[in-house]
Structure 1
Amino acid sequence: MRALAEFIMHSRVQAALVVAGCVSLPLFYWLGAAAGCLILLKYGLKNSFGVLSLGLLSALIWWLQFSDPRVLLVLLGSSSLALVLRASESWVRTLLVSVALGLIYSVILSKVFCSQIEALSQEIIKILPMIIEDFYRQLLVGERARLALMITPILTGLIAALLQFVSVLSLILGRYWQAVLYNPGGFSREFYNIRLPVELVMLLLVCIVSGLYCGSQLVLLALICSVPLVFAGLALIHGLVAQKYLAKFWLVGLYVTFLLFMQLIYPLLVILAIFDGLIDFRSRLTLRDADNSSDKH
């Protein structure tokens, strides 16, 4: 990864080639977005526009050719988050802005992908009785109708939240590259200390609960608001490992289980981030160790 970062920063031509080339490949568009974030974080928008414009052109062609706006959305979204991080030097503010970005994604998807999402929703509705047979049989007619109405917003929210997640992930990779090249150890200090303040945690929690219980069209809000909490939960685990309160094998286990059992680990990370916002585990553990050390002396 360091070699790729050095190649990107060697010249504008090489940077443009990486951004445009990766964006043109469906499996590596996130890598092109990360390269764009690296350029923006280092040089700002004015001095990076020429490099990014080629990537934007490739993403636009991809949209027009294959009717797929996701590549363009991630490139624009991650670049916007990079500008926010560069200006504010605050991961908390950047993660908060990612919620607005996810909402924008959902609006665009509901317009551009409306027919595709609706068609997929109808297919899911047809097979729901077979997927959740026992549960579905117990539902009343009105409850089945409400469940059917939730499928489209859930699908829209899932896709929007996934694009939001990838956008933040691309920014993280770009920031990591920047630290490796120009500020060794800086990324670790930043990421390990990410903790959402209690006011923001409560706001996100209210949005999640409202999205789950206050109408089918708001379900996507719960999904989008969960993304900052997931990254805060990951930062908490990394921070505890860095402070040697957890062994390193916890990280390996975390990411393996995250890939295999995302439906279980994802909400667990959200819950951890909520409790960390309320309790601040890292500060409490550090304070406890300091008290224990002073008692020994």
Structure 2
Amino acid sequence: MRAIAEFIMRGRMQATLVVAAAAALPLLFWLSAAASALVLLRRGMQDAVTIVVWAVLPALAWWYFAEPRTLLVLLGTLSLAQLLRRTQSWVAVLLASVPLGLLFALVLGEQFQESIARLAQELNTLMQQQMGEILQQWPEAERARMDSLVVPVLTGLMAALLQLLSLLSLMLARYWQAALYNPGGFAGEFHALRLSPLPAFGLLLALLLVPNVAPQLAMLVPLCTVPLALAGVALLHGLVAQKRLAGFWLVGLYVSLLLFLQLIYPLLMVLAIVDSLFDFRGRQRHKPDDAANGEG
């Protein structure tokens, strides 16, 4: 992966080739977003625009064929990269990803309205088959409320995936930047990532209360889980590095996440919330002297 970063930063023509080709090819739009973010982080918005425009063109072509994800992830990653470049704060980036995900949800809900409605109908039918007797015991108003939440939650899940892809693309770009100009800088940033109590409990309250305010706001529930889960992953990475544990602990984490997603994902969120109160990595954690951007 370092070789790709070196090729991107070799010159304007090489960077343009990577971002445009990756945006044009199916399933490689995340690479285009990461390459564009690398240029922005290192060179700034003014230099990045002349390169990113060549990624926007194939992304618009994909949108014409009813595939908006390429453009959404590209622009979402760039907006988060600009925020990171200005604030040098991963916490700010994680929190900003929530309204970004909401924007994704609105676009996806409009673009795939019929497909989401069909999927929601199939899920409702499946729930009736699997839980028919239990659902019959619920009050009519409660069943109607449950049915009204399916479409917003499905839309939120789709948007949360793009939200996560935007964050991961930015992390890849930051890793590339550190590898080229400040080795180990991204690891220090990621290991130190921790939500303070206010945003952590704010996200938790949004998870618990927002669906009761209005059914359409239920799309925020999956979006609010992403910052908490990533903060939980950062906590475990930081603890493994701090304790100098073997790397297989992290391998075990990701294998468990793939195999037991429904169990491990909420656990990561709980760890992030508890860590916001107790700071397991130490309240006097040393702040890295060098930023990962390598500009100084």
Cα distance in 2 for residues equivalent to 1:119 and 1:220:
17
Question: Which residue of 2 is the match for residue 294 of structure 1?
Answer: none
Q: Secondary structure at the match of 1:27?
A: coil
Cα distance in 2 for residues equivalent to 1:38 and 1:226:
26
- Counting only pairs closer than 5 Å after superposition, residues 1-297 of structure 1 correspond to structure 2 as 1-65=1-65, 67-133=66-132, 135-244=134-243, 246-283=245-282
Q: 1:141: Cα distance to partner? A: 3.2
Cα distance in 1 for residues equivalent to 2:165 and 2:114:
24
Q: Which amino acid aligns with 1:71?
A: T
Q: Which amino acid aligns with 1:60?
A: L
CA change 1:259–1:144 in 2 (3 A) is: same
Question: Residue by residue, what CA displacement relative to the aligned partner does 1:227-265 show, whole Å, maximum 9, x if unpaired?
Answer: 111111110000000001754322111101111221211
Cα distance in 1 for residues equivalent to 2:284 and 2:143:
48
Q: 1:115: Cα distance to partner? A: 2.1
Q: Is the 8 A contact 1:211 1:220 kept in 2?
A: no
Q: Is the 8 A contact 1:233 1:269 kept in 2?
A: yes
Question: Which residue of 1 is the match for residue 291 of structure 2?
Answer: none
Cα distance in 2 for residues equivalent to 1:107 and 1:273:
28
Q: Which amino acid aligns with 1:145?
A: A
Question: Which residue of 1 is the match for residue 293 of structure 2?
Answer: none
Q: 1:197: Cα distance to partner? A: 1.0
Question: Residue by residue, what CA displacement relative to the aligned partner does 1:60-93 show, whole Å, maximum 9, x if unpaired?
Answer: 101102x011111000000100000001111111
Cα distance in 2 for residues equivalent to 1:64 and 1:42:
31
Cα distance in 2 for residues equivalent to 1:116 and 1:156:
10
Q: Which amino acid aligns with 1:255?
A: Y
Q: Is the 8 A contact 1:106 1:160 kept in 2?
A: yes
Q: Secondary structure at the match of 2:270?
A: helix
Q: Is the 8 A contact 2:15 2:51 kept in 1?
A: yes
Unaligned runs of 5+ in 1: 288-297
Q: 1:219: Cα distance to partner? A: 1.7
Question: Which residue of 2 is the match for residue 290 of structure 1?
Answer: none
Q: 1:29: Cα distance to partner? A: 1.1
Q: Which amino acid aligns with 1:228?
A: P
Q: Which amino acid aligns with 1:122?
A: Q
CA change 1:245–1:282 in 2 (3 A) is: farther
Question: Residue by residue, what CA displacement relative to the aligned partner does 1:263-294 show, whole Å, maximum 9, x if unpaired?
Answer: 2111111110000001101106979xxxxxxx
Structure 1 stretch 131-140 or stretch 105-114: which is displaced more?
131-140
Q: Give 4+ residue runs of structure 1 displaced > 4 Å after superposition.
A: 284-287
Q: 1:140: Cα distance to partner? A: 3.7
Q: 1:216: Cα distance to partner? A: 2.3
Q: 1:142: Cα distance to partner? A: 2.9
Cα distance in 2 for residues equivalent to 1:50 and 1:268:
43
Cα distance in 2 for residues equivalent to 1:137 and 1:109:
33
Whose RCO is larger (CA < 8 A, sep 6+)? 2
TM-score for the superposition, normalised by structure 2: 0.91
Question: Residue by residue, what CA displacement relative to the aligned partner does 1:188-232 show, whole Å, maximum 9, x if unpaired?
Answer: 110000001111112111111113444422222121111111111
Q: Is the 8 A contact 2:108 2:155 kept in 1?
A: yes
Q: Is the 8 A contact 2:153 2:221 kept in 1?
A: no
Cα distance in 1 for residues equivalent to 2:256 and 2:284:
26
Cα distance in 2 for residues equivalent to 1:81 and 1:285:
28
Q: Is the 8 A contact 1:129 1:137 kept in 2?
A: no
Identity level (%): 51
Cα distance in 1 for residues equivalent to 2:67 and 2:16:
22
Q: Which amino acid aligns with 2:262?
A: Q
